[in-house]
Amino acid sequence: MLNLESVGMERGLLYETVVTTRNEDGTPNAAPMGVICKNENEVVLYLHQGSQTVMNVKREEKFLVNITKDPMVFVESTLGNPSQESFEHFDNGYYIKGTDAFLVVEVLRMRDVEREDQFGVSTTTVINAKVQEIVKKKDHVEPLNRAIYGVIEALVYLTRMEMVSGDMEKLYRHRMREISRIVNKVGGLEHKRAMKRISDAFSKYE
């Protein structure tokens, strides 16, 4: 059955994935992208202007979402592109060899929005896409969500607060605010509840 739960994706959470698209000349492109699980067969992506991915998605209206935790795949697809041999054909598109699973998705709606965030005003294309196929390559698939790492990092900072002072203390306070922002953006209810407890405990250092 077509259900994102089969690859461990929960409604409302944002996962770090690697999106593979087709360039105009037919060659593959890969880039890390956040994918929000909207419901059991729909995802939402926020694609910033300027990437090859956004151009390809707008033109092809179809792409693949690779679920992987391979660090080199993330690095290579951020700094450039993995080598041609790292891709495997699927239908008209490509997935990344060695991926734990991939989703074949088709754009339902896309709209350009002006967004203002910490980096200033920019145009973002919001993509709603329907999952058409889920291909599992491994028995155990766990999509990458940053919230648990944030919670652990925040706890480490919290337990070090008694040991630091001056600039380091300031840096930890700053990091704590940033981690809280991320956990609340990408996490689920339990992550947010956990982060709230940490922030409450941390408030004595603010």
Ligand X SMILES: Cc1cc2nc3c(=O)[nH]c(=O)nc-3n(C[C@H](O)[C@H](O)[C@H](O)COP(=O)(O)O)c2cc1C
Residues that bind ligand X (CB under 6 A): 16, 29, 31-34, 46-48, 51-53, 78
Report CA-CA distances (Å) from 19 to 4, 63, 87, 104, 195.
16, 7, 12, 10, 29
Q: How far is the CB of 183 from ligand X (least distance, A)?
A: 15
Q: Which residues 6+ apart lie within 8 Å of 56 measured at CB?
A: 21, 22, 23, 24, 29, 63
Between 29 and 180, whose beta carbon lies closer to ligand X?
29
Between 46 and 205, whose beta carbon lies closer to ligand X?
46
Between 16 and 169, whose beta carbon lies closer to ligand X?
16
Cβ count near 98 (within 10 Å): 14
Between 118 and 165, whose beta carbon lies closer to ligand X?
118
Q: In which residue are the tokens 């990092």 written?
A: 153
